[in-house]
Chains A and B, each alone.
Chain A
Amino acid sequence: MYSRAYKTIVSVPPLLWVGTFLLLPYALMLVHSFWLVRDGFIVQQWNLGNYATLFGKPVYLEVLLRTVRIAGSVTLCSLLLGYPLAYYLSFHAGMRKEFLYQLVIVPLWVSYLVRGYAWKTILGSDGVLNGFLQYAHITHEPLGFLLYSPFAVVLMLTHIYTPFVFLPIYAALESIPRPLIEASQDLGATPGKTFFRIIVPLSMPGLLAGATFAFVLSLGDFLAPLLVGGASGTMIANVVQSLFGAAYDWPLGAAVSVCILLLTLSLLLATETLEKRWSFK
């Protein structure tokens, strides 16, 4: 058994870390959101003006809605890519399993920025894709919607977060005892029925974890819209960034952040409850 003193000593650094770099900033953010800016200075005067602006001006809700829509699309697309991939690797890849697994992981080692710029190069009006389309006489002028659009943001974020969706789903599929699949077939279930009645329910915790990853990470992303989003692809994190930066309206920025935080926390709570319902250990 460890002594009380030992337990206290080892728990101090992590607590200090969480306190200094997580709880304190959150507290500061919450406090700021109830202050206001006057003549270019932050005034410590309690008010709900920031929240009134937030819900009063349609622009903020519009961007928030677009952000949720983009994050939702990213989640859906990475699930549609990640689940079949994980399923194939877990059940049918055989000897190639290890190799393919590494291939899925490798992109995670490449810098986020590099991948962002790669998409710029591919999607731009004189980029690789447009060049090819014109060369092949499929189009006669560059397609404008490819870059600087919500489409480009969804594409880039899907590319980045699919491995994050793949990993928990793969882990969940790997943990399904194979005799269960045989038992299902033995009882007369076709491969399709086995998939929907046994494999999908049992991989649900992994699926939920992956979907949460993709959604929450996309929701707070500001680099992808900056790199490939353009004006029509602006997301809520960009609004926060500009409020804290160029606009110098920290209180309003803090209020927006509090809203995102609440949205994220309630989402995490919901998925945790769901995951519990779908675990049978």
Chain B
Amino acid sequence: MSALAANSPGAPVHAGSTLLEVRALAKQFGAARVLKNISLNIAAGEFLTLLGESGSGKTTLLRLIAGFETPTSGEIWMGGQRLDKLPAYRRPVNTVFQHYALFPHLNVRENVAYGLRVKGTAADEIAGRVDEALGMVKMHDFAGARPAKLSGGQQQRVALARALVNRPQLLLLDEPLSALDANLRKQMQSELKSLQREIGITFLFVTHDQEEAMALSDRIALLRGGALEQIASPREIYARPATAYAAQFIGQTNLLAAEVRDGFAVCGALRWPTSERDGAAAFSLRPEDILLVDAGRPPVAGSVNFRGTIRQQLYGGANETLEVACGENQTLRVRIRAAPSAAPPLDGEHAFSFQPGDAVRVAT
């Protein structure tokens, strides 16, 4: 496998050092500002995900890096080389397309060999590298088949092999799993992740699926309306969302519009100590951070306690989500471990608690 690791023709790239640098990149289609002043760095060997809703600009950013669009302003740099002035076919990046974009008139082997062939690589080297790439995605048995004869998952593997055989420094993946059904998708996620670890190529992955982003990424760049909302590791972005949007987009949350005064935040029936300054402030409190306090069990020291009425109990397999009314027009979501099947349904008034530190201040 090591032979497939990125070999950089330019300056040597060490793991952890910056591989790609996006500087103040903007893209306008007519009057629509699809991308507004984006700056970000991608480290060598990193798995970075561009996450966002449709229209957030994530695909446009990917296409700018691949060279299918030209930026309105800003620059893209890679290892001391300015990328945004180069045509797509001169850039040391390769793309896995959303619908694979395999060449229908070429068989699997010819598809994978295409990139090497157009660059005039020697025939015996092509044969070796194509074999290696096909082996990596376990598609040897289908080398002679035309893409139309393959299933979605198989086409996906071929598309991966076709990109990786060129040993790009950076692999761009444009929602590569979105056309697969749920089970296959999970399996491919896992394969993709281990493949990336094995060959050490930097992945820039585009998706609108936050679960997928969390499962795969070293870091997530959350985009919203063409701007960067937050860029951080999945754990950090989940535990410390910078904005209300980030908190709601990644996982579920209770957004509390509170008033801070004298070291305490007040939101409806809830009151908890905080170090935030006085004034209006929004807080994010994850449903699983709120505990259902069993009758008779003493409250944990330092926790915030309140009482609420369970309005709705939504079963979700391992978990259940409770919709809890506490005070006027205030409903909180609470996630608890699912009770055994024999347990009676929950309703009525109960005691709940959370740690003040779990209410995270977010920008609105």
Please report A residues at the B interface, Cβ cutoff 8 Å.
177, 179-180, 182-191, 193, 197-198, 201-202, 278, 280-281
Question: How many angstroms from the CA of A42 to the CA of B97 in the assembled complex?
Answer: 70
Interface centre among A182, A188, A201, A281 (most CB of B within 10 A): A188
CB-CB under 8 A from A180, the residues of chain B are 101, 103-104
Q: Which of A177, A189, A193, A281 contacts B101 (CB 8 A)?
A: A177
B243 at interface, CB cutoff 8 A: no
Q: State A179–B68 Cα separation when bound (angstroms).
A: 10
Contact indicator B105/A185 (Cβ below 8 Å): no
- Contact at B94–A193, with CB atoms within 8 Å? no
Instruction: State which residues 68-105 of B face A: CB under 8 Å.
Output: 68, 87-90, 93-95, 97-99, 101-105
User: Chain A: interface secondary structure?
Assistant: helix
* Contacts of B238-286 to chain A: CB distance below 8 A: none
- CB contact under 8 A between A184 and B114, given known A179-B99, A189-B89, A280-B104: yes
Q: Which residues of B contact A (CB under 8 A)?
A: 66-68, 87-90, 93-95, 97-99, 101-105, 114-115, 118-119, 146, 148, 162-163, 166
Is B97's CB under 8 angstroms from A202's CB? Answer: no
| Cα distance, A185 to B67, chains bound together (Å) | 9
Q: Which chain B positions have C-beta within 8 A of A184?
A: 103, 114, 118
Q: Report the bound CA distance from A191 to B88 in whole Å.
A: 10
Given the complex of chains A and B, what is the CA–CA distance between A185 and B98 in angstroms?
16
**Residues of A with C-beta under 8 A to B66:** 182, 186
On whether the beta carbons of A188 and B95 are closer than 8 Å, the reply is no
Residues of A within 8 A of B162 (CB): 187
In Å, the complex CA distance between A222 and B258 comes to: 89
Distance A188 CA – B105 CA, assembled complex (angstroms):
18
Q: Which residues of B contact A177 (CB under 8 A)?
A: 99, 101
> Are B104 and A202 interface neighbours, CB within 8 A?
yes
CB distance from B129 to the nearest CB of A (A): 13
How distant is A205 from chain B, measured CB to nearest CB, in Å?
Answer: 11
Tell me whether B119 and A188 are in contact (CB under 8 A). Answer: yes
How near does chain A come to B170, taking the closest CB pair, in angstroms?
Answer: 12
Rank and list the top 9 A-B pairs by shortest CB-CB distance, nearest first.
Answer: A187-B115, A280-B104, A179-B101, A183-B101, A185-B88, A189-B118, A186-B95, A185-B89, A201-B105
List A contacts of B114 (CB < 8 A).
184, 187, 189, 197
A194 to B27, CA, bound (A): 26
| Nearest neighbor of B63 in chain A, beta-carbon distance | A182
Please name 12 pairs of A and B residues whose Cβ atoms are closer than 8 Å in the assembled complex, sorted by A. Answer: A180-B103, A182-B97, A183-B101, A185-B68, A185-B88, A185-B89, A186-B68, A186-B95, A187-B166, A188-B119, A189-B89, A193-B118
Nearest Cβ in chain B — how far from A184, in angstroms? Answer: 7
CA separation between A188 and B163, bound complex, in Å?
A: 11
- Is A183 in contact with B118, judged by CB distance below 8 angstroms? no
B102 proximity list for chain A (CB < 8 A): 183
User: What chain A residues lie within 8 Å of B163 (beta carbons)?
Assistant: 186-187
What chain A residues lie within 8 Å of B90 (beta carbons)? 188
Which residue of A183, A201, A281 contacts B95 across the interface (Cβ within 8 Å)?
A: A183
Evaluate contact between B148 and A280: CB separation under 8 angstroms: yes
Nearest CB in chain A: distance from B62 CB, A? 11
Are B88 and A182 within 8 A (Cβ)? yes
Q: Please give, as numbers and ranges, the residues of chain A lying within 8 Å of B67 by CB-CB distance.
A: 185-186
Which single member of A179, A190, A193 contacts B97 (CB below 8 Å)? A179
B98 → A minimal CB distance (Å): 8
Q: Smallest distance from the beta carbon of A109 to chain B beta carbons, Å?
A: 35
